[in-house]
Amino acid sequence: AVSQEFTANLPKAELHLHIEGTLEPELKLKLAQRNHIDIGQDTIEEVQKTYDYDDLASFLSVYYPAMEVLQTEEDFYDLGMAYLKRAAANHVRHVEIFFDPQAHTSRGVAFETVINGLHRAVVDGRALNVDAALIMCFLRDFSKESARQTLAEALPYKDKFIGIGLDSDEHNNPPLKFARQYEDAAAAGLHLTAHCDIDQKDSIEHIRQALEIMGVERLDHGTNIVEDPDLVQFAAKNNIGMTSCPLSNGYVSPEMKGEEVLELLKQGVKVSIHSDDPAYFGGYIGDNYYAIADRYDLTKDQVVQLAKNSFETSWISDEKKAIYL
C-alpha cells in the first residue's frame, strides 16, 4: 500500500484544475466583503453548506453563481495566488490552469481583467517554485458565436495562455460544435484539450470526435474510452493524455472510476490524476492521488507511473520534461 506521505511528496504536474473551482469559502467571503456583495452567507460553515450537489448539473448550478464575488483584476490575482500556494504545498512542479472567460464576460467583467489578474499570479508563482501556465476553456453550453467572439477577444493575449479547452454541460454539446474554434486555435499555435465527461450519454462519440476529427492532445476525464478498444489503441499510439479526477468522479457518479484508470495504465495509455474543482470536491491533487491509491490498492510503481504520465503529457518543453521523467 502507498502512504499519504508518499502521494503528498511525489512531484506532480497538475493538468486538470479549474481556477474558479479553487474558490474556497474563506476567500469567497473575503472577496464578497471587499466588493460589497451580499452572497447570503456570513460564515465559512454557511458557505460550505451551499456546496451541495450529486451530479454535474447540480454542481454547475452552485459553481457559476459563486463566481459573482470575482470582479477586479486583484480578485483574479488573489484567486490565482491562493491556488498556487496550495499547489506548492502539494509538490506540484508544473500546472496548466483552466479558466472560463465566458463565466465572467457574460456578467460584465472584461476579458482583460480576468487574464491580466491570472497571468500576474502565474508570473509570481515562479517564486513558489511552481511553473504555471493558463488554458482558456469555452463553455460548451454557450453558443458557437459566443466561442468565436471569445477566441477573437483572446488571440491578442495569446502570449498569456498556451492552449484551449472545452468544459461545462456536455449534454447535447458535442466537441464538433466548436470545430472551427479548434482549427483556428491550432493555426494560432495553441495546444488543444477538451472535456469528455464520464457517464455522458454520447461519451464515446464525443471522444471519437475530439481525438479523430479535432486532433486534441488530451482528454479531460475521458476514461470511458475503455468501452471502445479501437479508440484506446488510438490513444495509446498517439500519446494522448487522459486527465482523471477521482474525487470529482466520486461526486458526480457512484464511483471514482479507478478500474478504468487501471485498465488504461495496463494498455499503455498516458492517464494521470488531477483535482478538477478542489474547493468543491473535497481535496487538492495530493488527496486525489491518495484517494485512488487507497481505494484501489495501487502499487508504488503505478502511482509513480501516473505522476510520470502527468509530466509526459504536459505542455512543458522537452528540457523541463526530462527533469521529471
Among 276, 283, 288, 290, binds ligand ADE (CB under 6 A): 276
Q: Does 221 belong to an annotated binding site?
A: no
Q: Does 104 belong to an annotated binding site?
A: no
22, with CB counted inside 10 A (0-12, 13-18, 19+), is buried
Q: Does 195 belong to an annotated binding site?
A: yes
Q: Which residues contact 129 (CB under 8 A, 6 or more apart)?
A: 88, 93
Length of the chain: 325
Q: CB nearest Zn ion: which residue? A: 276
Q: Among residues 24 and 276, whose Cβ is nearest to Zn ion?
A: 276
Residue 168 interacting with ligand ADE (CB under 6 A)? yes
Q: How near is the Cβ of 286 to ligand ADE at its closest, in Å?
A: 19
Q: How many other C-beta atoms lie within 10 A of the C-beta of residue 187?
A: 8
Q: Which residues contact 218 (CB under 8 A, 6 or more apart)?
A: 15, 193, 240, 241, 242, 243, 313
Q: Among residues 22 and 113, whose Cβ is nearest to Zn ion?
A: 22
Residue type, 239: N
Q: Among residues 55 and 183, whose Cβ is nearest to ligand ADE?
A: 55
SS3 157: helix
Residue 287 interacting with ligand ADE (CB under 6 A)? no
Residue 21 interacting with ligand ADE (CB under 6 A)? yes
Q: Which of residues 40-59 bind ligand ADE (CB under 6 A)?
A: 56
SS3 136: strand
Q: Does 274 belong to an annotated binding site?
A: no
The C-alpha atoms of residue 276 and residue 278 are separated, in whole angstroms, by 6
Among 24, 167, 260, 287, binds ligand ADE (CB under 6 A): 167
Residue 276 interacting with Zn ion (CB under 5 A)? yes
The C-alpha atoms of residue 323 and residue 124 are separated, in whole angstroms, by 22
Query: Hey, what's the torsion of the CAs at 137, 143, 149, 154, to 10 degrees?
Result: 0
Residue 195 interacting with ligand ADE (CB under 6 A)? yes
Q: Does 16 belong to an annotated binding site?
A: yes
Q: Among residues 76 and 98, whose Cβ is nearest to Zn ion?
A: 98
- Chain residues in the site for Zn ion (CB under 5 A): 276
- Chain residues in the site for ligand ADE (CB under 6 A): 18, 21, 56, 167-168, 195, 197, 248, 276-277
Q: Which parts are annotated binding residues for Zn(2+)?
A: 16, 18, 195, 276
